[in-house]
Structure 1
Amino acid sequence: MSLSALCLALPGALNAQTMVKFATLAPDGSTWMKAMRQFTDETTARTGGRVKFKIYAGGVSGDEKDVVRKIRLGQLQAGGFTGVGIGEIAPEARLLDTPFLFKNAKEIDHIYKTFDADFRKIFESRGYVLLGWAEVGNVNIFSNVPVTKPEDLRNVKMWIWEGDPIAEATFAALRIKPIPLSITDVMTSLQTGMINGVYGSPLSVIALQWFARMKYVFALPLTNASGAVVISRKSFDTLSKEDQKTMLELGEKYFRALTLASRKENEQSVGILKKKNLIFTEPASPAVVTELERAGNEARAALVGKLYSRELLDKVEAALKAFRASKK
C-alpha cells in the first residue's frame, strides 16, 4: 500500500478539513496530470488527510475561462492553467507569454526566478495563491502550407484562441487575421476545414491530436508558453500554516520537475513529429528573424496599459538585457 493510500485509510483522515476541487485542460495520462497527481497524493499524505483533492481533467469543467469563473463562484478551488487562464487571474503575468521575448531556457529560468516574488504578490492581490509555475514550453506554428516568413501566414486559415490578448497582439503585429475559436472547438474546425493552421507546443499538439491534420511546422518558436497551478486564497487560508507550507513546498518540487520534464518531452515530440513526416521549415533569412523580433516588440508595446505596466515591461527587458550581456 502506498503512503498516500495508507494515510487515506487512517480514521483521522476520513474527516478532511479541506476538499480542493481542481480542474485543467490537461488530459488524464499526460505528463502534466501525472505530476499533478503526484503533487495531490503527497499533499494528502503529508497533511495526514487534512487536504484532499478531486480532479477534473481533460477540460470536463470547460475552457480555462470557465474554470476561473467556477473558482470565483466557489464551485472549484484550484486550477492548472496556460496563459489564457493566467490572464484571467493576473494579466501582468502574460508578459512572460509575449512573442520572441526569450531566446533559450536559461533566459526563461532567470526571469522567472528574478520576478517570482513580484508575480506571487500580483496573484495574491487578486485572490489567488501561486502553487507553482508549470511551463507549457516553446510554441510553434503548425500549418498545411510551408511557412518561412510572415507573408506565408496570410495563406493560412490560422486559428486564434478566442479572447487571448497576447495572440491577438501577436497576429496583429504580423498583419495576420486569424479565426477565433475556443480551444475545445479546434479539432472539429480542423476536420471541417474551417481552419488549417494552429499553434502550440509540440507536446500539446500531439496530446490534442491536432498534428494529424498538419503538414508543416515553423521551426522558430513563436513564444514560450507559461503555465501555472493556483488555488483560491480563500481556500488556501482555511489551511493551517503547516499545511500551507507543505502545499507550497510540494508545489515547487513537483511543478519545477514538470517544467523540466515538459522541456524534455517537447524535444522528444519534435522527433516524433518528424517521424510522422511533418516538415520543419526554417526562417527564410536572418532578416526574417529580425522582422519577427520587431513584431514581438510591437506586440509587447501594444499591450502596455492593457495587461501590464510600462514599468514592469522595462524591468523585465532590462533584466534580460543584463543577463545576455553577462553571458557574452
Structure 2
Amino acid sequence: MIKKCSIKKLTSALLLTGSIAATLTLAPLAHADWKGWNVHPAGYPVTVGIESFMKHVEKATDGRVSGRVYNGGILGDQNDAIQMLQVNGIQFAEFNLGPIGTMVPEVNVVSLPFIFKNESHMHRVMDGPVGKELAKAMAKQGIIALAWYDSGSRSFYNTKHPITKPADMKGMKFRVMNNELYVDMVKELGGNATPMAYSEVYQALKTGVVDGAENNWPSYDSSNHYEVAKYYSLTQHLILPEVLAVSKAAWNSLSPADQKAVRKAAQDSAVLERKLWAERVQKSRAKLLKAGVIVNEIKDKAAFQAKMKPVYAEAEKATPALTPLIKQIQETP
C-alpha cells in the first residue's frame, strides 16, 4: 500500500482544498468547483496540458464545472495527491503511474523495465485495450483515468561517473519512486535503492544522501538536479505513461453529457501535452549539454535488459494478472 502521509500534512492539504464531506455527494450538481493537483512548475508540458483541460472543461460544460490547478506540488507529494483523489479531497490530478502500482497491481505492468520499445509504442499500448484495462482497475480504487500523458524515457544520472554497464552501478545509492519494482530494478543492477519524495532529491544529491536518481530530460532540467549530478547515462530503462484522472465522486456527480465533455477535454489535452513534451525534450537536452552535463549512450543495452529477468519473474509471481498484460504489450506492433 502507498504509505500514509502524516496526519498534519494531509489535514492541511484537505483544508486548502475544501471539506471532504461537502464534496462527496453523488447527485448531479448545478455547479462544481474542482481543485486539481500537479507536481510540475508553470510552463511545463504537463502543466500546460492540465490547465488546458480545466479551461476546456469549463467552456464545454457552460460553467457547470470550473476549477483551479494547484501546481508545484503545493498540496503535498504524489502519494498525498492519490489519497486525496480517492476521498474527493481534490477532484482531479495528473501523476506518474509508477507509485500507484502499490495499490493497483495491474498498473505495475507499465513499470516493468524495458517493457515498451519506444515512446510511440507506449502511446499505442495505452490508447488501446491495455489502457482500457488499466483504467478499469484504477476505477475500482476510486480513480477515473481519462487520458494518458507522456513523460518520456527515464535514464540514470549520478554525481560520480558515467554508467556504461551494470557493474558501474555497484554499491551506488539511487533515489527511486515509491514502488517495490523500482527497488528491485536497482538492486538487480547492483545498486541500492532509496524511495524518496521528489521534492527531497536535490538536497539528497547535494549532500550525498544518495549518489543518483533517474528521470527524463525535462524533469532532470526543471528540477535542477543536473547542477549537482552531472553524469546522465541514457539507459532509457523506463518509458512511463502518466495519467490525467478525476475522483470517482466528482465523476459520478456529472451528467452523462458533462462526463462526455470532460473526457473529450482530457483526451484533447493529452494530444497537446504529447506535442509539447516532444518539443521540451529537445529544448532541455540542448540546454543541459550547453550547461556541461556529461551524457553517454548505452552501447550494450542488452546487458541491462538481461538483469531484469528476476524483476519480471517476481512481479508476475506477485500479480499473475500481469502475465497476459505483458503478452498484450509485447504483441502490440
TM norm structure 1: 0.85
Task: Answer yes or no: is 1:153 the counterpart of 2:163.
Answer: no
Matching residue's letter, 1:290 = A
Q: Cα offset for 1:312?
A: 3.5
Task: Answer yes or no: is 1:291 the counterpart of 2:303.
Answer: yes
Q: In 1, Cα distance between the equivalents of 2:69 and 2:184?
A: 33
- Could you list the runs of 4 or more consecutive aligned residues of structure 1 that deviate by over 6 angstroms after TM superposition? none
Matching residue's letter, 1:160 = V
Answer yes or no: is the 8 Å Cα contact 2:234–2:297 preserved in 1.
yes
Q: In 2, Cα distance between the equivalents of 1:313 and 1:195?
A: 33
Given the alignment, which residue of 62, 69, 80 partners 2:76? Answer: 62
Given the alignment, which residue of 85, 107, 116 partners 2:121? Answer: 107
* Cα RMSD after superposing both structures: 2.0
- Cα distance 1:16–1:38, how it changes in 2: closer, same or farther (>3 A)? farther
Q: Cα offset for 1:256?
A: 2.8
- Cα distance 1:73–1:118, how it changes in 2: closer, same or farther (>3 A)? closer
Partner of 1:76: 90
- Cα distance 1:322–1:33, how it changes in 2: closer, same or farther (>3 A)? closer
Answer yes or no: is the 8 Å Cα contact 1:131–1:231 preserved in 2.
yes
Partner of 2:327: 317
Matching residue's letter, 1:149 = K
- Cα distance 1:312–1:256, how it changes in 2: closer, same or farther (>3 A)? farther
Per-residue deviation, residues 44-83 of structure 1 (Å, max 9, x unmatched): 0111110011221111111111112222333212211112
Matching residue's letter, 1:82 = N
Aligned residues: 303
Q: In 1, Cα distance between the equivalents of 2:58 and 2:113?
A: 38
2:124 aligned counterpart, secondary structure: helix
Partner of 2:206: 191
Task: Answer yes or no: is 1:247 the counterpart of 2:265.
Answer: no
Given the alignment, which residue of 41, 44, 53 partners 2:58? Answer: 44
Matching residue's letter, 1:109 = H
Answer yes or no: is the 8 Å Cα contact 1:67–1:79 preserved in 2.
yes
Matching residue's letter, 2:113 = P
Q: In 1, Cα distance between the equivalents of 2:251 and 2:154?
A: 32
Partner of 1:131: 146
Q: Cα offset for 1:258?
A: 0.8
Q: In 1, Cα distance between the equivalents of 2:102 and 2:248?
A: 15
Q: Cα offset for 1:224?
A: 0.5
TM norm structure 2: 0.84
Q: In 1, Cα distance between the equivalents of 2:214 and 2:56?
A: 34
- Cα distance 1:304–1:183, how it changes in 2: closer, same or farther (>3 A)? same
1:148 aligned counterpart, secondary structure: coil
Partner of 2:4: none
Identical positions, percent: 20
Per-residue deviation, residues 116-135 of structure 1 (Å, max 9, x unmatched): 22122212222221121112
Q: Which runs of 5+ in 2 are unaligned?
A: 1-28
Q: Which runs of 5+ in 1 are unaligned?
A: 1-14, 324-328
- Cα distance 1:259–1:295, how it changes in 2: closer, same or farther (>3 A)? farther
Matching residue's letter, 1:210 = H
Specify which structure has the higher proportion of helix: 1
Partner of 1:21: 35
1:220 aligned counterpart, secondary structure: strand
Partner of 1:31: 45
